[in-house]
């Protein structure tokens, strides 16, 4: 909720009363007064209607200078102040504070820039003096139209919703909870850990992924400040920074902690289905746990393959199994939201580099499962029961696509972008193959090797030394994969090699690993509920990659990890911590104070034409369908004023930049022309 | 902030001593720079010139010339005066 | 005497973009921060850049609001022109010793009018413009500097007193001396940034030897409208170059020069500078000689393709040698990969060596942290705690942990601030925790 | 009220098409009610009144006088001043009187250009001697005087003070009747602070049933180029519908029929310059994300001043083109 | 004396030669800072552009431009952040659509295109700002005074009542 700060300084005359303006022209130790005749400016201004004092000083920014302003306000009972000095970017705050100290509303102050934009750029003294005078007159004209304003204050509910239970979501939740902030973590699948849990080893440390994810989950699960909902789907959302309300639908798990013999229960299930955790390389039961040590340590029922035969119910002796469990809804109130919804790997099309056509063509993620000693092949490098002798890696599958060469994705767009992690992942996997299976020959088909990160290049370097053969293809003529007709190997990759100056190569292989790229998930619900911006690459789009890299345009929504684009584990972790830092700052402050230069709708003038709704980049304007008028949500408004220029009925005004204020400034600059009042009378 | 009563002239003397005075080397450097600047100014009295033209007129290597010309430009003594082929022309500013 | 408090929750070393962001994020969470930079202005490398990839925003448009925010924050105290002598871990936080170098200008009294700068008549190379531009002995570091306060360089001062004579506030103080400052800091964030690898690391490229073989940061300044020339000109004779070459990996991915790693930003800055050259000099030809184009970040590949579409020539080649020929033009002997390995001699007006990034500062005992063999700060748990150094309580952000582009450095700064905040929560006494 | 206790009303047409006079008759049977309470003191279109008759009235004789059409020549100015004097309430009736209307589009051209089109270069004109009207013509019977042609069309308010304005081209009968009723009863009609009556206090969009789907304009299309989808905002479909920037009161007649609003009720409440208001509004509605595309789309708009100021040139900021 | 009374005569009938009167609408974050940057670098430029500061170029209502011309401006300069640099994400995208339309309307009304200029100036482009100001001033000077208000008077506008749309009562 937003409210205005009560500053208790309402000494300001309203329109109609004659404002009492004080004008203070700074000499700036000669920086201004050497060119601008500041005494003449003050003298001429003292004749202007409403100006009750006009004076100069060597340095108004100095303590005595500020004291003079304060004293004059009291002495002359001023209710408007104009300081003509350097650029407002330097001392506007200084003078606003001085004005406030004298008991006047700080927004009844106007700053005229007669140094950077007058004395330092004009050589002709009389022209400079005239210009300074005009600018000060305009400032006086503007101040006379000013109204006292109050800063906005928005209270922040001290809790955060984290969406996504992968490494980024877990990290953000852990960090926020460590700072004593209440966190609700929701995960759409039945288990935490996300993609990290599926990885085998992570670079550049070579740690086992399981060794990283398990302690992280433990930390999160054991923290009393964190509430976890798995199987949770977003349903509805409302609210804004400080007070978001999100309703999630908790889908039935079918199994509760009361089930004491999960493994027996799983074993009892007669239904087998494709094991998604092992990327289709294995099968699992309809009631399942993805891996030993997963969290929660409670099986879940895959309702698509469950026949409700009741075998599990019997195996558990009825304890903790509910085959008729219903979904339920939970409302989560939060002051801020961290979105860590993660991403997907690119699914190659049927026939793309032989994928789906040959069993010997797998994705890099599948290879990672194969290399995992706890994985479906128990860490053996075999295909169809045969040991692999020659393995090839194909880079950029689903990334760095070119118009006309690659088929577009479902939305008609191709994936132009680089998926960032695949090169190093490939080098890392190649290194592991070389280390663990020294006899295996490794071939690497690439366009560029982008081992950009620190210590990433050393993998590349190392596998070069280990004898991995690198073959560089032309991206506009990608390699082809065929069955090897000579029969010794199942596959052959045909390509030209730029590194050997265009040599035509045929490389027979036992296994071809596709380094598939990373793609955004279908986030339409999320995007819809929180009105997120989406980039051309379908990932969520930050406000600005440098100014606000982990924030969405709407205040209070933060991005953590690969929901924003491809990232490796370290980068996701860093992004999650950065998002946590922003959310934590918001929560710890308890409230935010914002400049009062917000837009306001005059409902009597508003025609409800919705024009303003198109322009606001911060979705701060909504339309009340019953009154058919627009309303500005002050908590979201950033005060750009774009809607003001858009409103065809002039029903929106920006505080501090109202039409009448800007126009009176304009008219004063065009001095000698009709009095502003007359021109504005019709408005 | 207030205007102080500091006696900078006295301080400067102490400062100069503390910094080891004005060495011969430094004097030579300053003199060389004054000469270079003057040579460039003198050359430009003939009218706008490119860097190679100044270099030829002032008998100075062109990297030195461009550096000093740019210094004079930054501090308002020289202004650009259009282009001649692949080079910009420079001229003395009237007020300088 | 510099007036500061005796205790700060966080000490941030380095006020480049990562340090400023870390300081802001830490202050944003309610902590008091001391932000220290050894240079006379905050802003680091970024404030001197022309544009930034892949959005081509103006670098100072992004950097200066951050600088102002850091300077105006009530919870951040800036100490410029100050170096760390040593920090030692103690029961509560760190005992820190700093050295504030003399500016010879009273910061509080200066109004930034630059009259002194204009009154000083002796010029020397300006570091901000990589030596291509001049500055007098007393100078405000640059137009966007914060604080807008000059610094006097005694080495080039002729002791003529001109500066003090024109100063309207009499704020030039020749009596200033280096000052040692001792504070206690609850936690430390190291954001000491980068320096480029040496121009002459590869002798065969003629860096330092030929005036028209340029450093990429110098090229940034040359491309900037407020740079030393105001136009793209070559440093030997002010000629508008028609043919410009970029030599990639001129200071990275080469064990022999001690930089085995990929510097991560060179491909992108070369592409960006090439685009900016094409924007400013429409008929100029820009060729980038490279082995891999590492356009890995968000929007980077698209940027690469845009550069190619805008006419930047990107050529897979190895550059063997650069030699100066008549008119101070440069000859590049290259092996053209896509032309069957043909060796060619190609002449250019100007060559930019895409130098690598190296750590901008080595603690050398000033901080009790471990350093990797390549000079970057050791991060024991790089994948899970990317901002934690080997010492609990000392965190690292930006290029100090390895080469990084600006978005990654900013994100990591946020992570470092979060880690520091958590550490402070863990270690500080409760009453000190702000509400 | 004088004499018989009935109101004295007047109606005058200046630079207008006559549609306004007819629109007053459109109130239908109610005209009889009007006659019950009011005598017509002046209505050149309907009855034979001489200016001298009006000049003979005492000042303020007429209770209400409706003035339609803009002021294009000296006669119209003279009558406007006369009627101001002789009327208690002077009402600018119709868009020409209130905002200049279609005739004010001629403000984009100089008098010479207008005369050239009207008397010379138009193919349907037969004027072999190239005669143009002149204020003074010497003839055998003496000097003939005709009114002076002014360099621009002005609205009534730029000549004399008008108490109220009823916008519309023409004003809608129901609204007119309501406004008359209010004026007759002596009450100040509802006018939203800007003295416009017989219209709503909102824009045409308020009355329009077409829905904005919040899609952005992909390309501007003129009416012959496409068949608008029913129920969907015409502007979003690319028609340059001036609804958002136009005063309501017509019941969104044109958009209802699939035609874009051309802006005949003049500026929307709160605005004085209809064209600027419309340009401001569409600024945020285009799909264009690059400068090039924005420029292309803007270039697709035919005759921007004529489009945006079709009915309100005289109240816009600029009012006349520089040729004058 | 009212603050709006003349101190600067644009008629050019006295001893002072006529000076173009140009209004510059500048966004705060880039262009205004760019103008400050020109000052810090002591770049000299013509004194004829008077700056009206707004937070975003998206706030520059086309109405303000019309009002400026109608009330004595001889030229109008609109400056905003470069596309992509907007402090408010996309405020300048609106400017990018509006200004070409304003230009076409002004052209239709016979105002020379040199009197209206719309450019992007970043915070670092002080040089560009000073160049634009000087260029614009010289262009407008070459065209001479616009005198729109006098023009309107010559057409009879404002003789009877005032410029209010249709006869708002005088205060």
Which long-range contacts does A49-52 make (Cβ < 8 Å, 24+ apart)? A49/A18, A49/E1, A49/E2, A49/E3, A50/A18, A50/A19, A50/A20, A50/A21, A50/A80, A50/A140, A50/A144, A50/E3, A51/A21, A51/A22, A51/A23, A51/A140, A51/E3, A52/A20, A52/A21, A52/A22, A52/A76, A52/A78
Looking at the structure, tell me whether residues A389 and A447 fall in a common domain.
Answer: yes
Same domain flag for A35 and A134: yes
CB-based contact, C299 to chain A, within 8 Å: yes
Q: Which residues on E lie below 8 Å from C226 (Cβ)?
A: 37, 41, 124, 126-127
Dist CA D247 CA D165 (whole Å): 12
Residues in contact with A75: Cβ distance below 8 Å, sequence separation at least 6, in sequence order: none
The chains found to touch E (3+ Cβ pairs under 8 angstroms) are A, C, D
Q: Quick check: C88 pLDDT over 90?
A: yes
Residue C432 has pLDDT above 60, yes or no: no
Using pLDDT thresholds of 50, 70 and 90, give the confidence band for residue A500: confident
Q: Which of C219, C217, C242 is nearest to C229 (CA)?
A: C219
Q: Which residues contact B7 (CB under 8 A, 6 or more apart)?
A: none
Q: Across residues A644-668, what is the average pLDDT? A: 94
The torsion of the CA quartet D73, D76, D80, D83, rounded to 10 degrees, works out to 160
Cα C31 to Cα C10: distance, rounded to the nearest angstrom? 7
CB of B94 within 8 Å of any CB in chain A? no
Please give the Cα distance from E26 to E133 (Å, whole number): 12
- Same-domain check for residues A6 and A146: yes
Taking contacts as CB-CB distances below 8 angstroms, the residues of chain E near A667 are 4, 71
Answer yes or no: do A435 and A559 share one domain.
Answer: no
- In this structure, are strands C76-79 and C33-36 parallel, antiparallel, or unpaired? parallel
CA-CA distances (angstroms) from residue A371 to A283, A428, B34, B84, D199?
17, 11, 73, 67, 78
**Mean of the pLDDT values across residues A116-138?**
95
> pLDDT tens, C337-370?
988 889 999 999 999 999 999 999 999 889 999 9
CATH code for residues E18-146 = 3.40.50
The percent of residues above 90 in pLDDT, for chain C, comes to 83
Q: Does E156 touch chain A (CB under 8 A)?
A: no
Looking at the DSSP bridge assignments, the partners of residue A470 are A444
Dist. CA C178–CA C102, nearest whole Å: 5
**Confidence class for position A309, pLDDT limits 50, 70, 90:** very high
CA angle A159, A162, A168 (to 5 degrees): 135
**Does the pLDDT at position A5 exceed 50?**
no
Predicted confidence band of residue E170 (pLDDT cuts 50, 70, 90): very low
Q: Which of A492, A519, A546 is the last residue of a domain?
A: A519
Average pLDDT of chain D is: 91
E65, E109, E150, E154, best to mutate vs chain D, most D CBs in 10 Å: E109
Report the pLDDT value the prediction gives residue A74, as an integer from 0 to 100.
95
3-class state of residue C332 by DSSP: strand
| DSSP code of residue A107 | G
Instruction: Count contacts between B and C (CB, < 8 Å).
Output: 105
User: Which residues of chain C have a CB within 8 Å of the CB of E84?
Assistant: 55-57
Q: Which residues make Cβ contacts (< 8 Å) with residue A274, sequence separation at least 6? A: A280, A283, A284
- pLDDT over 90 (residue E152): no
Residues from chain B that touch C136, judged by Cβ atoms under 8 A, are: 75
- Which tokens belong to A266? 């799983």
Nearest to E127 among C65, C118, C226 (CB): C226
The sign of the dihedral angle between the CA atoms of A210, A214, A215, A219 is positive
| Mean pLDDT of the region D187-201 | 83
Per-residue model confidence as pLDDT tens digits over C214-254: 999 999 999 987 889 989 999 999 999 999 999 999 999 99
What's the pLDDT at D195? Answer: 86
Count structural domains, chain A.
Answer: 5
Neighbours of C, requiring at least 3 CB pairs below 8 Å, are A, B, E
Interface of D with A in 220-249 (CB under 8 A): 243-245, 248
> Distance from CA of residue B96 to its chain's centroid?
12
Q: Which domain holds residue A316?
A: 262-326
For A207-225, b where at least 16 C-beta lie within 10 A, e where not — what string? bbbbebbbebbebbbebeb
Percent of chain A with pLDDT over 70: 96
Closest to A194 (Cα-Cα) out of A160, A163, A233, A237: A163
The tokens of C52 are what? 């930034």
Structural contact between residues D157 and E161, judged by C-beta atoms closer than 8 angstroms: yes
Give per-residue pLDDT as tens, A402-458: 988 999 988 888 999 999 999 999 999 999 999 999 999 999 999 999 999 888 999
Tens-digit pLDDT profile for residues C391-422: 999 999 999 999 999 999 999 999 999 999 99
Model confidence over A223-242: pLDDT tens digits? 999 999 999 999 999 888 99
> Are A421 and A506 within one domain?
yes
Could you tell me where in chain C the CATH 3.50.50.60 domains are found?
Answer: 7-101+178-193+360-432, 197-356
* Torsion angle (degrees, nearest 10) of CA C299, C303, C305, C307: 180
Would the pLDDT of E15 be above 80?
A: no
What per-residue string of b and e applies to B52-86 under the rule 16 or more CB within 10 Å gives b?
bbbbebbebebbebbbbbbbbbbbebbbeeeeeeb
Same domain membership, residue A432 and residue A410? yes
Which CATH number fits the domain that encloses residue A635?
3.30.70.20
Q: What secondary structure letter does DSSP report for A355?
A: B
Count of CB atoms within 10 A of residue A63's CB?
11
In Å, how far from its chain's centre is CA A580? 12
Q: CB–CB of A574 and C415 under 8 A? A: yes
Asked if the model's pLDDT at residue A674 lies above 60, the reply is no
Q: What is the pTM of this model?
A: 0.80
Q: Chain E within 8 Å of A46 (Cβ-Cβ)?
A: no
pLDDT at A567 over 70: yes
CA A72, A78, A84 angle in degrees (round to 5)? 70
Q: Decide if A681 is inside a domain.
A: no
Lowest mean pLDDT among A27-31, A588-592, C98-102, C115-119: A27-31
ipTM of the complex: 0.76
Is residue A635 scored above 90 in pLDDT?
no
DSSP per-residue codes, C45-75: TGGG-SEETTTTEEHHHHHHHHHHHHHH-TT
Q: Is E149 on the interface with A (CB under 8 A)?
A: yes
How sure is the predictor about A617, in pLDDT bands with cuts at 50, 70 and 90?
A: confident
Cβ of residue E104 closer than 8 Å to a chain D Cβ: yes
Q: Which two tokens stand for residue A393?
A: 């890696």
Task: In whole angstroms, give the CA distance from residue A296 to residue C375.
Answer: 42
Interior/surface letters D79-110, b for 16+ CB within 10 angstroms, e for the rest: bbebbbbbbbbbbbbbbbbbbbbbbbbbbbbb
Task: Say yes or no: D289 contacts chain E, CB-CB below 8 A.
Answer: yes
Q: Given this model, what pLDDT does residue A216 score?
A: 95
Place of tokens 């998930």: A521
pLDDT digits (tens, 9 = 90+) for C115-141: 999 999 999 999 999 999 999 999 999
A550: domain CATH number? Answer: 3.50.50.60
Q: At E84, is the pLDDT very low, low, confident or very high (cuts 50, 70, 90)? A: confident
Closest residue to E110, CB basis, from D99, D272, D322: D322
Average pLDDT estimate for A44-69:
90
Instruction: Look at D281 and A611 and tell me if their CB atoms are within 8 Å.
Output: yes
For residue D286, CA distances in Å to C34, C191, D213, D308 come to 47, 44, 14, 17
Helix runs in A437-568, H state only: 456-465, 524-530
Q: Which domains does chain B carry?
A: 8-92 (1.10.10.10)
Least confident of A578-582, C411-415, D187-191: D187-191
Helix (H) or strand (E) holding C358: strand C357-359
Q: Which of A314, A324, A316 is nearest to A299 (CA)?
A: A316
Q: CATH 3.40.50.700 region(s) of chain D?
A: 7-102+151-185
Query: Within this chain, do residues A355 and A472 fall inside the same structural domain, yes or no?
Result: yes
Q: Is residue A682 part of a domain?
A: no
CATH of C7-101+178-193+360-432, one of 3.40.50.1370, 3.40.50.300, 2.60.40.10, 3.50.50.60: 3.50.50.60
Average pLDDT rounded to a whole number, residues D255-268: 95
Per-residue pLDDT of chain B (96 residues; tens, 9 = 90+): 455 788 999 999 999 999 999 999 999 999 999 999 999 999 999 999 999 999 999 999 999 999 999 999 989 899 999 999 999 999 998 754
The answer to whether C383 contacts chain A (CB < 8 Å) is yes
Is E163 within 8 Å of A674 when comparing Cβ atoms? yes
Average pLDDT over residues D50-58: 94
CATH assignment, C197-356: 3.50.50.60
**D280·A608 Cβ contact <8 A:** no
Beta strands in A121-158 (DSSP E): 152-155
| Closest listed residue to residue A369, CA positions, set A282, A292, A437 | A282
Share the mean pLDDT of chain A: 91
Whether A133 and A45 have beta carbons less than 8 Å apart is answered as yes
Mean pLDDT confidence for D91-113: 94
Q: Does E148 touch chain D (CB under 8 A)?
A: yes
- Mean pLDDT throughout A279-293? 92
Q: Residue A511: is its pLDDT beyond 70?
A: yes
* CATH code linked to domain D7-102+151-185: 3.40.50.700
pLDDT in tens, A366-386: 999 999 998 888 889 988 888
- The average pLDDT across D91-103 equals 94
Closest CA to A642 of A616, A675, A679, A609: A616
**Does a structural domain hold residue A662?**
no
């Amino acid at each position: 909720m937003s409210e205005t700060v009560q500053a208790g300084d309402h000494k300001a005359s309203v329109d109609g009363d004659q404002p009492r303006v004080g004008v203070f022209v700074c000499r700036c130790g000669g920086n201004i007064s050497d060119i601008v005749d500041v005494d003449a400016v003050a003298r001429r201004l003292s004749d202007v209607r409403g100006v009750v004092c006009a004076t100069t000083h060597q340095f108004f920014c100095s303590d005595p200078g500020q004291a003079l302003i304060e004293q004059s306000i009291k002495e002359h009972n001023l209710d408007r102040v104009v300081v003509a000095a350097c650029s407002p970017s330097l001392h506007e705050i200084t003078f606003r504070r001085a004005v406030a100290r004298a008991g006047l509303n700080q927004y009844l102050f106007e700053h005229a820039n007669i140094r950077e934009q007058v004395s330092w750029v004009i050589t002709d003294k009389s022209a400079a003096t005239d210009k300074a005078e005009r600018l000060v007159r305009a400032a006086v004209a503007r101040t006379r139209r000013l109204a006292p304003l109050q800063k906005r204050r928005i209270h922040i509910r001290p809790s955060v919703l984290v969406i996504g239970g992968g490494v980024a979501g877990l990290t953000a939740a852990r960090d926020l909870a460590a700072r004593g902030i209440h966190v609700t973590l929701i995960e759409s699948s039945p288990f935490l850990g996300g993609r990290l849990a599926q990885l085998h080893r992570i670079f550049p440390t070579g740690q086992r992924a399981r060794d990283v994810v398990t302690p992280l989950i433990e930390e999160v699960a054991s923290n009393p400040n964190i509430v976890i909902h798995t199987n949770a789907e977003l349903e509805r959302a409302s609210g804004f920074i400080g007070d978001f309300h999100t309703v999630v639908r908790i889908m039935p798990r079918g199994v509760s902690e009361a089930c004491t013999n999960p493994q027996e229960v799983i074993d009892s299930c007669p239904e087998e289905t494709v094991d998604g955790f092992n990327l289709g390389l294995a099968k699992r039961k309809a009631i399942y746990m993805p891996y030993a040590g997963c969290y929660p340590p409670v099986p879940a029922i895959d309702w698509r393959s469950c026949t409700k035969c009741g075998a599990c119910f019997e195996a558990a002796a009825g304890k903790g199994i509910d085959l008729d469990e219903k979904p339920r809804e939970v409302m989560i109130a939060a002051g801020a939201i961290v979105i860590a919804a993660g991403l997907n790997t690119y699914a190659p099309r049927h026939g793309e580099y032989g994928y789906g056509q040959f069993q010997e063509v797998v994705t890099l993620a599948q290879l990672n499962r194969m290399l995992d000693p706890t994985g479906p092949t128990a860490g053996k490098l075999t295909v169809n029961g045969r040991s692999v002798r020659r393995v090839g890696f194909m880079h950029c599958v689903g990334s760095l696509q070119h118009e006309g060469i690659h088929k577009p994705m479902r939305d008609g767009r191709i994936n132009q972008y680089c998926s960032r992690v695949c090169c190093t992942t490939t080098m890392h996997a190649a290194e592991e193959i070389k280390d663990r299976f020294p006899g295996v020959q490794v071939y690497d088909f690439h366009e560029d090797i982008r081992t950009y990160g620190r210590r990433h290049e050393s993998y590349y370097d190392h596998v070069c030394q280990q004898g991995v053969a690198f073959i560089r293809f032309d991206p506009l003529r990608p390699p082809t994969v065929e069955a090897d007709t000579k029969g010794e190997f199942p596959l052959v990759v045909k390509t030209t090699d730029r590194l050997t100056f265009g040599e035509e190569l045929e490389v027979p292989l036992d296994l071809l690993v596709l380094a598939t790229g990373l793609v955004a998930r279908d986030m339409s619900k999320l995007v819809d509920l929180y009105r997120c911006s989406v980039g051309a690459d379908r990932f969520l789009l930050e406000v600005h990659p440098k100014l606000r890299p982990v924030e969405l345009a709407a205040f209070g929504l933060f991005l953590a990890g690969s929901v924003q684009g491809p990232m490796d584990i370290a980068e996701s972790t860093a992004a999650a911590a950065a998002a946590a830092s922003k959310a934590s700052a918001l929560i710890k402050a308890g409230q935010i104070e914002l400049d009062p230069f917000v837009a306001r709708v005059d409902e009597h003038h508003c025609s409800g034409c919705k024009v303003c709704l198109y322009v606001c980049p911060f979705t701060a304007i909504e339309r009340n369908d019953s009154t058919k008028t627009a309303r500005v949500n002050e908590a979201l408004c950033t005060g750009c004023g774009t809607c003001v220029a858009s409103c065809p009925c002039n029903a929106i005004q920006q505080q501090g930049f109202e039409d009448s204020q800007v126009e009176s400034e304009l008219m004063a600059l065009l001095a000698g022309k009709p009095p502003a009042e007359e021109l504005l009378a019709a408005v | 902030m207030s205007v102080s009563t500091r006696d900078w002239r006295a301080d400067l003397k102490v400062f100069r001593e503390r910094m080891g005075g004005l060495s011969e080397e430094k004097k030579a450097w300053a003199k060389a720079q004054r000469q270079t600047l003057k040579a460039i100014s003198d050359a430009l009295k003939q009218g706008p010139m490119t860097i190679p033209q100044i270099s030829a007129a002032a008998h100075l290597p062109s990297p030195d010339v461009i550096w000093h010309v740019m210094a004079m430009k930054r501090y308002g003594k020289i202004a650009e005066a259009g282009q001649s082929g692949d080079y910009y022309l420079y001229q003395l500013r009237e007020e300088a | 005497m510099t007036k500061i408090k005796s205790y700060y929750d966080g000490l941030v070393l380095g006020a480049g973009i990562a340090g400023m962001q870390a300081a802001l994020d830490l202050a944003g969470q309610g902590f008091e921060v001391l932000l220290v930079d050894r240079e006379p202005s905050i802003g680091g490398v970024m404030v001197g850049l022309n544009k930034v990839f892949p959005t081509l925003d103006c670098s100072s448009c992004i950097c200066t609001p951050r600088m102002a925010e850091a300077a105006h924050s009530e919870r951040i105290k800036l100490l410029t022109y100050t170096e760390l002598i040593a920090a030692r871990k103690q029961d509560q936080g760190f005992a820190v010793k700093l050295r504030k170098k003399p500016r010879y200008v009273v910061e509080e009294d200066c109004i930034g009018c630059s009259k002194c700068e204009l009154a000083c008549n002796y010029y020397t190379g300006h570091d901000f413009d990589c030596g291509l531009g001049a500055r007098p002995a007393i100078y405000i570091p640059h137009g966007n500097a914060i604080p807008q306060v000059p610094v006097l360089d005694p080495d080039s001062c002729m002791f003529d007193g001109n500066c003090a004579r024109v100063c309207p506030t009499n704020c030039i103080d020749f009596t200033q001396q280096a000052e040692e400052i001792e504070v206690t800091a609850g936690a430390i964030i190291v954001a000491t940034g980068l320096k480029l690898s040496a121009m002459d690391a590869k002798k065969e490229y003629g860096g330092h030897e030929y005036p028209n073989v340029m450093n990429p940061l110098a090229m940034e300044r040359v491309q900037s409208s407020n740079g030393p020339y105001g136009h793209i000109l070559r440093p030997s004779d002010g000629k508008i170059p028609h043919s410009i070459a970029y030599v990639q990996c001129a200071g990275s991915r080469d064990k022999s020069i001690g930089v085995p790693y990929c510097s991560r930003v060179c491909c992108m800055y070369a592409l960006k500078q090439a685009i900016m050259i094409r924007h400013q000099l429409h008929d100029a030809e820009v060729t980038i000689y490279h082995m891999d184009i590492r356009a890995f970040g968000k929007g980077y590949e698209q940027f690469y393709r845009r550069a190619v579409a805008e006419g930047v020539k990107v050529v897979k080649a190895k550059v063997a040698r650069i030699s100066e020929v008549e008119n101070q033009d440069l000859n590049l002997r290259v092996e053209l990969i896509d032309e069957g390995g043909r060796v060619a001699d190609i002449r250019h007006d100007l060559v930019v060596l895409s130098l690598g990034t190296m750590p901008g500062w080595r603690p050398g005992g000033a901080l009790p942290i471990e350093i990797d063999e390549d000079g970057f700060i050791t991060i024991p748990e790089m994948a899970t705690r990317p901002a934690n150094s080997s010492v609990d309580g000392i965190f690292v952000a930006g290029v100090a942990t390895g080469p990084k582009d600006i978005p990654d450095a900013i994100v990591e700064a946020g992570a470092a601030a979060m880690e520091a905040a958590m550490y402070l929560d863990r270690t500080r006494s409760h009453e000190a925790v702000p509400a | 009220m004088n004499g018989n206790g009935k109101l004295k009303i007047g109606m005058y047409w200046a630079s207008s098409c006559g549609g306004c006079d007819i629109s007053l008759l459109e109130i239908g049977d109610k005209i009889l009610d009007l006659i019950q309470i009011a005598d017509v003191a002046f209505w050149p279109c309907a009855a034979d009144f001489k200016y001298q008759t009006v000049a003979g009235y005492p000042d303020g004789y007429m209770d209400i006088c409706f003035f339609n059409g803009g002021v294009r020549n000296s006669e119209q100015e003279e009558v406007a001043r006369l009627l101001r004097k002789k009327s208690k309430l002077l009402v600018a009736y119709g868009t020409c009187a209130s905002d200049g209307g279609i005739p004010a589009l001629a403000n984009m051209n100089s008098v010479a250009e207008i005369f050239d089109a009207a008397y010379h270069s138009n193919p349907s004109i037969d004027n072999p001697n190239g005669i143009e009207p002149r204020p003074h013509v010497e003839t055998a019977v003496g000097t003939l005087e005709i009114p002076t042609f002014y360099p621009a069309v002005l609205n009534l308010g730029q000549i004399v003070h008008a108490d109220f304005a009823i916008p519309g081209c023409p004003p809608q009968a129901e609204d007119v009747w309501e406004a008359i009723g209010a004026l007759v009863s002596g009450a100040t009609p509802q006018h939203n602070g800007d003295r416009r009556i017989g219209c709503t206090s909102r824009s045409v969009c308020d009355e329009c049933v077409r829905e904005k789907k919040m899609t952005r304009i992909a390309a501007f299309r003129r009416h012959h180029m496409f068949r608008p989808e029913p129920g969907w905002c015409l502007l979003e479909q690319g028609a340059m519908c001036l609804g958002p920037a136009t005063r309501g009161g017509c019941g969104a007649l044109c958009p209802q029929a699939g035609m874009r609003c051309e802006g005949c009720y003049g500026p929307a409440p709160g605005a004085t310059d209809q064209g600027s208001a419309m340009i401001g509004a569409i600024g945020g509605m285009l799909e264009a994300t690059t400068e090039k595309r924005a420029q292309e789309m803007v270039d697709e708009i035919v005759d921007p001043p004529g489009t945006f100021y079709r009915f309100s040139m005289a109240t816009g900021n600029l009012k006349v083109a520089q040729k004058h | 004396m009212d603050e709006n009374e003349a101190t600067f005569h644009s008629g050019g009938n006295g001893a002072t030669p006529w000076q173009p009167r140009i209004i510059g609408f500048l966004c705060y974050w880039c262009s205004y800072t760019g103008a400050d940057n020109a000052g810090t670098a002591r770049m000299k430029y013509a004194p004829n552009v008077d700056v009206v500061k707004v937070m975003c170029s998206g706030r520059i209502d086309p109405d303000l431009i019309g009002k400026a011309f109608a009330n004595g401006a001889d030229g109008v300069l609109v400056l905003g952040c470069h596309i992509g640099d907007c402090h408010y994400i996309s405020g300048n995208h609106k400017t990018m659509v509006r200004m070409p339309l304003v230009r076409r309307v002004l052209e239709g009304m016979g105002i020379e295109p040199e009197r209206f200029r719309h450019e992007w100036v970043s915070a670092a482009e002080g040089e560009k700002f000073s160049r634009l100001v000087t260029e614009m001033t010289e262009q407008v000077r070459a065209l001479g005074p616009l005198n729109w208000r006098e023009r309107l008077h010559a057409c009879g506008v404002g003789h009877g009542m005032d410029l209010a749309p249709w006869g708002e009562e005088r205060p």
